[in-house]
């Protein structure tokens, strides 16, 4: 904990022994969340077992797993706030059994993820990886071996047209790209919508994935789908790792069906090494495209506001869906 964070925690502690405790599970910046929580709530960034036993709220960050054991260690817990929107690492069933809402923070990192996806696409279309290697290794005369693509006039296919997908569309339009979109859950605007993933694959030069992971979207990018791509398509996945079958993607890179692939998400995380990681036309980032300085602060603030709302008896801005406990009972 930094000196500033420690000072703020002590300031919260000065409220008295009856102060409500909210803990950070994973790295959460005290100096950002404590002012939002206010003087009657003490934020503990590095909780002990005793802190967990007294905690009434928890802000969950990054790869921290909140399972039944974790929940059992927090008998007074009244609310969980998960930074971002993915709750696959939170046992929402166990939380629901105790009537603990799981607050999420949609929108706080929308622009950061969209910019990250677009950065991956630019990197791959402009061949920045192999061209950097070429200059670094004194192979200047080989520069024409790597044809450089253009975004202007090319087609981007956006899979998943929620907040992030819409922002990717805005960025792509600013570059003069033609935008098409497919969403298996909600319908994009008619002027850009295509009726199937296969139709999108047949038309797009760049494909960017922004759908949640469900049984229907697991490995939605597989060998049959990749075979439908236009030659030398660029694929970017800033959604969920298991959307893409990496074995099939490597085959598509080797055959030229894909000219590049950008991955910010993996299955599992952290991932085991895959041969695709060594390909020169692959760019890899460790699930951080949504963690820009501004986005991280915004998601901490939204999480803290959700905690305050629940503890005050108000409805928070956004929560994860409450599971049907009857369906979860063993047969």
- Catalytic residue (choose from 269, 294, 314, 328): 269
The long-range contacts involving 90-98, CB below 8 angstroms and separated by at least 24 positions, are 90/60, 90/65, 90/66, 90/320, 91/66, 91/67, 92/320, 92/321, 92/322, 92/323, 93/323, 93/325, 93/328, 94/67, 94/68, 95/66, 95/71, 96/322, 96/323, 96/325, 97/325, 98/71
Which is nearest to 157 in space by CA: 198, 190, 124, 127? 198
Give the pair of three-digit tokens for residue 312: 């005050």
Tally Cβ neighbours within 10 Å of residue 322. Answer: 13
Quote the CA–CA distance of 194 and 159 in Å, as a whole number: 10
Please answer whether residues 260 and 130 qualify as being in contact, where contact means their C-beta atoms are separated by less than 8 angstroms.
no
Quote the CA–CA distance of 128 and 47 in Å, as a whole number: 43
Q: pTM for the whole thing? A: 0.85
Model confidence over 64-111: pLDDT tens digits?
Answer: 999 999 999 999 999 999 998 888 889 999 999 999 999 999 999 999
Q: Residue 13's pLDDT is what?
A: 45
Model confidence over 146-194: pLDDT tens digits?
Answer: 999 999 999 999 999 999 999 999 999 999 999 999 999 989 999 999 9
How far is CA 38 from each of CA 31, 121, 272, 299, rounded to the nearest angstrom? Answer: 12, 42, 42, 17
Quote the CA–CA distance of 8 and 208 in Å, as a whole number: 41
By three-state DSSP, how is residue 278 classified?
Answer: helix
Region for 256 from its dihedrals, namely left if φ exceeds 0, alpha if ψ lies in -120 to 50, beta otherwise:
left
Which is nearest to 173 in space by CA: 165, 183, 182, 163? 165
- Catalytic residue (choose from 8, 120, 166, 240): 240
- pLDDT, the chain, mean: 92
Quote the CA–CA distance of 102 and 7 in Å, as a whole number: 29
Q: Residue 79's pLDDT is what?
A: 98
Quote the CA–CA distance of 130 and 280 in Å, as a whole number: 6
Which is nearest to 116 in space by CA: 286, 314, 279? 286
Q: Residue 9's pLDDT is what?
A: 47
- Active-site residue flag, 42: no
Q: Residue 327's pLDDT is what?
A: 65
Which is nearest to 285 in space by CA: 244, 236, 242? 236
| Structural domains in the chain, sorted by start | 3-108+293-328 (3.40.50.720), 110-284 (3.40.50.720)
Sign of torsion over alpha carbons 106, 107, 112, 114: positive
Tally Cβ neighbours within 10 Å of residue 110. Answer: 19
Q: Residue 330's pLDDT is what?
A: 52
pLDDT, averaged per 10 consecutive residues of the chain (331 residues), comes to 46 58 96 96 97 98 91 98 89 96 94 98 97 96 95 98 97 98 94 97 98 94 97 97 98 97 95 97 96 95 98 96 70 50
- Active-site residue flag, 287: yes
Quote the CA–CA distance of 316 and 296 in Å, as a whole number: 19
By three-state DSSP, how is residue 235 classified?
Answer: strand
- Catalytic residue (choose from 123, 210, 287, 305): 287
């Amino acid at each position: 904990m930094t000196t500033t964070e420690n000072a703020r925690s002590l300031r919260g502690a000065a409220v008295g022994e009856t102060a409500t405790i909210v803990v950070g599970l994973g790295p959460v910046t005290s100096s950002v969340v404590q002012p939002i929580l206010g003087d009657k709530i003490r934020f503990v960034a590095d909780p002990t077992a005793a802190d967990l036993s007294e905690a009434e709220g928890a802000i969950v960050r990054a790869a921290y797993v909140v399972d039944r054991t974790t929940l059992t260690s927090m008998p007074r817990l009244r609310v969980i706030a998960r930074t971002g929107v993915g709750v696959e690492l939170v046992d929402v069933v166990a939380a629901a059994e105790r009537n603990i809402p799981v607050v999420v923070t949609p929108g706080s990192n929308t622009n950061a993820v969209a910019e990250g996806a677009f950065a991956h696409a630019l990197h791959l279309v402009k061949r920045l990886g192999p061209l950097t290697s070429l200059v670094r290794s004194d192979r200047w005369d080989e520069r024409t071996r790597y044809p450089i693509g253009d975004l202007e006039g090319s087609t981007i296919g956006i899979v998943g047209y929620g907040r992030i997908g819409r922002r990717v569309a805005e960025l792509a339009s600013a570059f003069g790209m033609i935008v098409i979109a497919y969403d298996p859950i909600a319908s994009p605007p008619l002027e850009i919508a295509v009726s199937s993933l296969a139709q999108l694959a047949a038309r797009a030069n760049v494909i960017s994935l922004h759908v949640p992971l469900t049984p229907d979207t697991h490995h939605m990018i597989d060998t049959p789908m990749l075979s439908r791509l236009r030659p030398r398509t660029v694929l970017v996945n800033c959604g969920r790792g298991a959307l893409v079958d990496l074995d099939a993607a490597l085959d598509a890179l080797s055959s030229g069906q894909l000219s590049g692939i950008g991955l910010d998400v993996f299955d599992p995380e952290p991932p085991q090494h895959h041969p695709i990681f060594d390909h020169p036309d692959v760019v890899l980032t460790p699930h951080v495209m949504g963690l820009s300085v501004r986005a991280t602060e915004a998601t901490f603030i939204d999480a803290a506001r959700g905690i305050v709302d629940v503890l005050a008896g108000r409805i928070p801005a956004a929560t994860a869906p409450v599971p049907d406990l009857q369906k979860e009972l063993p047969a």
